[in-house]
Every structure is written in structure tokens, then in C-alpha cells.
Structure 1
């Protein structure tokens, strides 16, 4: 992908980080298509993520997510992934072929304030696992796969969109100079 207008941007992060919201705004600002992989899973299975979790368990949901991610072949898209996308190294490497992976890094305190539907949100986690435990388990994975990390602390949606656009442009320019 040597043209920034054709590359995709993949957003990763915890549930409640704003991947879908920021993703839609980025798509508008950058004239790219938008895809939300959680919606693709729900459409394929004709069930909510929470129903899939309840009926099949969290490991099945992660398998469904990996399958959806590996079937994405989109250039010029903003891709909002589910929070558990980073459990699949194969899927993350696949997504990197289409452009940079951007981690929307939100503190645990801010996420807990945003999420009021933890038990019904369809978060792929082991039974009894707390949100703090999920955060501690996933954050190192987000950092491992991220090409760009956006610190979301104290920033509104427009500031975050601007920062992603600036960081992505700097990342692209650096790659061209390399």
C-alpha cells in the first residue's frame, strides 16, 4: 500500500474506547468506507454478540471474530474491530497488510465511567472475569499490534479524529522515507 488514500486504518482497543464512533468520523473526514466487525459478526449469525456469548461461549465468539477478520480484504476503509480482535495474531497480521493498526488507548477509569452495560455488551471474556482483569490482559496485546497509539485521555471526538489523521500522515511519511 504505497498510497495513503488507498490504505485502510484499523482501530483496536477496549470496549467503550470509541472505535465505532471515531471510526465513522474518520471515514467521513478521510472519504473512506467504514466497516464495524462486530456488526459483521452479528449479521452473519443473525444474533447479538451477547446472544452468541450466552449460547456458544466466549471462545466461539473469538473464533467467529477471527474468521470475519481474516475475510476482510478492504482497501480505503476504516475498520473498527471488536475488543477481542487482538487475541488472533493471524488476524492482526492480516489486517496490517491493508494499512496501520491504531490503538485507541483509554484509561480503565474512563472506560468504567463510559460502560454501563458491561454484563450485556457481548464482551468475549471468561465467566467471572472482571473488566479490570480483561483490561490488564488485553492492553499488552493492543500495544503489541499497534502501529500508532493514540492517548485518548481528556480529548473529545474531534481532537481524537484530528490526532489520528496527523499520526497516520506522519507514520506514512516516515515509512516513505525509510
Structure 2
């Protein structure tokens, strides 16, 4: 096992769990959304607003496909699963863990989606976004961790156990 890439919906805890997971494993931690913002010198919301959804996906694909790290936990943006090249690269560099969360819990955790830089089509709801992305997360995941009814510590333990077994949790 080299890198661990966390995928999942916005609000699933990729960054929160990723930081703690990296500490526990003695790994580095990066958040690919922050790399995108640094390279583009714009926020995610600004990129989406200025370049449109397809332009944002192109940037997200380019940045994630170019990540070259070792022994690192990588928290990705929720829309990275639209970027096949990036996902193939991340899979080739380590294990991909899908942090699965129910739509009900997700809607309780999330506030303003646009303010978070969430890639939404015109008129798209959280429910339709969830239904669209879930099969993609499952497609790319090496390990699926169901976070329902878990706090940060509980989710972290599930991830660690699943990584040890190398199987779905």
C-alpha cells in the first residue's frame, strides 16, 4: 500500500478523516481541491463560475492526474469521479477508499452547495447529484467504508480496519 485516496460526496469527511488517517499512519496529507485552488489562483466556486462545469472538470482531471506523491493520504473533490484519467492515475498509485454516506445524513451535514464549490448542473438537486455519483464512487473504489451512524473516530477505525483487510467494509 502506498497512497490512500479518499473519494465520496462533499461532506462525507474526506478531508477530516484524511488528516487524522495520515497522522495515524505516519503519512503526508494533501487535499486536491486546495492544490487546484493554488494552481489556478482561484476558488473552486470561481473556477466553476468562470469556466463552467466542463472547464472545471478539465482542471480537476489535469491536477489529480498529475499528483506524484508517496505514502500520502489524498482527499479529493467529490466530482473527481467524473475524471476517468485522474481516477485511473490515483488507482495506479495506491488504494481508493469510498467514504459512503446516506443521502439523509449528507443533507443534514451540507449547507450551501454552491458556496462549497460543488459541481452542480443547472437545476440539479442534492438527491439527483447523489444518485448520479454513487455508481461512479462504487466503480472506482477498492474499498467502501459505510460511515452511517459513525463519528469521526468510528469512521477512522472502519477505514483502518478495511485497509488492513484490503476489502470492503
Same fold? TM cut 0.5: yes
Q: Which moved more, 1:49-58 or 1:76-85?
A: 49-58
TM-score of the two chains, using structure 2 as the length reference: 0.96
The question of 1:148 aligning with 2:125 is answered no
Work out the number of aligned pairs and report it: 167
Aligned pairs for 1:113-152 (under 5 A) are 113-152=108-147
In the other structure, the counterpart of 2:63 is 68
Q: Distance in 1 between matches of 2:76 and 2:114?
A: 19
Query: What displacement does 1:119 show?
Result: 2.6
Task: Between 87-96 and 140-149, report the one with greater CA deviation.
Answer: 87-96
Looking at structure 2, the residues matched to 89 and 58 of structure 1 have their Cα atoms a distance apart, in angstroms, of 16
Q: 1:93: Cα distance to partner?
A: 1.1
The Cα of 1:84 is off from its aligned counterpart by: 0.6
From 22, 25, 43, the counterpart of 1:48: 43
Structure 2 unaligned runs (5+)? none
CA contact (8 A) 1:106 1:153 kept: yes
**CA-CA distance at 1:170 after TM superposition:** 0.8
Gapped regions of structure 1 (runs ≥ 5) = 173-178
- How many Å separate the matches in 2 of 1:14 and 1:154? 16
Listed one character per residue, the Cα deviations across residues 73-108 of structure 1 (whole Å, up to 9, x for unaligned) are 111000001001111122111111121100000001
Mapped contact 1:59–1:124 kept (Cα < 8 A): no
Is 1:171 the counterpart of 2:162 in the alignment? no
SS at match of 2:120: coil
In 1, distance between residues paired with 2:153 and 2:91?
A: 25
Query: What is the deviation of 1:110?
Result: 0.6
Distance 2:142 2:121 in 1: 28
RMSD over aligned CA atoms reads 1.1
1:18 and 2:6 equivalent? no
Q: Contact conserved, 1:69 with 1:91, CA < 8 A, in 2? A: yes
Paired residue secondary structure (1:84): helix
Contact 1:10-1:95 within 8 A present in 2 as well: yes
- Aligned partner of 2:96 in structure 1 is 101
The CA deviation at 1:125 is 2.1
